[in-house]
Structure 1
């Protein structure tokens, strides 16, 4: 019996009959509580991996197993955040964060009766990301970084076992992005949920992940699984150390080789 929390075995993916493969013979094992990052050239299938693991899309061949069960549809144990925060403009920050509780079982059955408890949880989560006092603001009243913090809170409010992040900081300026790296790391260290992060930012991958996976060009395959032994908690000073710089250069070399192949 595997001790992996997420396991992909010989996974292949075509979006429709007759299409070229998007993913080919992809294998991956992720431990419970592990933080992994997936990097690779554009169009290599990084986002498709997230869709397969979360159950939003079935594989064409192979198996996807999460928490000991083959994935057969959307998983309720998943939280997701994307490059665009996708906050609903007519809802306040607090109501946007509470949204998953209206959808995901068993919370939606408890929400009306235990509303005060859930509101308190949402406010506490917002406070941890620096948004205390912004609960009643609408998305257009928040900066891009604030919106992405709220999006992270929304992804975590139902305490998912698996967090899927699809380039969540790509649209932000460098300083805001690094600030959110620290916020995400702190949230994860308090309650180590399993994380799959798709990113083009090799520094981001090196800063956040326990393991960095490098994918080939389309059709995507895992070419490299690089353990990251940099000690935690990591801070911005870590990014100036030689081991960090060496890791980023190594990852860049892998990507360069992929592009040249």
Structure 2
């Protein structure tokens, strides 16, 4: 089933309307007149030239930054504070080295309500949930290990688990696999594909990436941004049925979409 035909058909979940933002008074606009709508349960990817404002979009959608103009709405509410229903994973796993993998996973539960209030009296239940999440990404038994005892790919799997432990409705991924080798990266594409599928329309994902193959393999829809100041210049549906196997990445149909996106980004760069 295509994601947009799921249990939540076409309910807008993340909406940025007419958004403009700069990081310093009088500075260069990072995004200008940015409009994007991502539906509930959808897996969206955002691609574009370096410095086009992809990471700015992520910060605006999660309430880590607030726009100078326009509106940001998540789950029907205008964003005025950090978005508590969001989980985030970045290129660097940023696991705390003095905490075990399990303790790193538990960190959001110590911060985000209602889990923070429940954690002490329901510790065993939360630990069991964290261990099940680790097992689901191939890290069974790794909870007692420290980050420095894990490979880069294992650290990134743990980082994904930490982003999901508090059951967010929105998962924001900012180049999460960019520092990994090609084989590990493809393994993790399959991990996030399966995690999203298991959550059956209840998890909306926005992936910011430079990797066009990654975007086409994972996403229902891909948004292409212009050079700075960034705005959406193209939107591409990816109609491949789910679940998708890595073999699809070697088909002419897959390559056609990748080449189309590459052409759009090359044009955006040349007209900057």
TM-score category (smaller protein) = over 0.9
5 Å-filtered alignment, 1:81-230, equals 81-191=89-199, 192=201, 193-230=203-240
C-alpha contact (below 8 Å) 1:6/1:30 kept by paired residues: yes
Deviations 1:208-253 (A, max 9, x none): 0011010000000100011110111111111011211111111111
Which aligned segments of 4 or more residues in structure 1 are displaced greater than 6 angstroms? Answer: none
**1:64 paired to 2:75:** no
CA distance in 2, matches of 1:249, 1:94: 41
Q: What SS is found at the alignment partner of 2:207?
A: strand
Deviations 1:79-136 (A, max 9, x none): 0000000000000011101110000011000000000110000000000000001110
Deviations 1:14-62 (A, max 9, x none): 1121111110100001100000000011111000000000001100100
CA distance in 2, matches of 1:209, 1:59: 26
CA distance in 2, matches of 1:19, 1:205: 31
Residue ranges of structure 1 left out of the alignment (5+ in a row): none
The alignment yields a C-alpha RMSD, in angstroms, of 0.8
Deviations 1:189-211 (A, max 9, x none): 00030011000000000000011
C-alpha contact (below 8 Å) 1:145/1:172 kept by paired residues: yes
Query: Offset at 1:3?
Result: 3.2
Other-structure match for 2:52: 44
CA distance in 1, matches of 2:37, 2:141: 41
Query: Offset at 1:163?
Result: 0.2
Q: What SS is found at the alignment partner of 1:87?
A: coil
**TM-score, length of structure 2 as denominator length:** 0.94
Other-structure match for 1:257: 267
Residue of structure 2 aligned with 1:80, choices 83, 88, 91: 88
Q: What SS is found at the alignment partner of 1:22?
A: strand
5 Å-filtered alignment, 1:3-22, equals 3-22=11-30
CA distance in 2, matches of 1:257, 1:17: 30
Count of matched residue positions in the alignment of Structure 1 and Structure 2: 260
Residue ranges of structure 2 left out of the alignment (5+ in a row): 1-9
CA distance in 2, matches of 1:95, 1:197: 26
CA distance in 2, matches of 1:255, 1:43: 12
**TM-score, length of structure 1 as denominator length:** 0.98
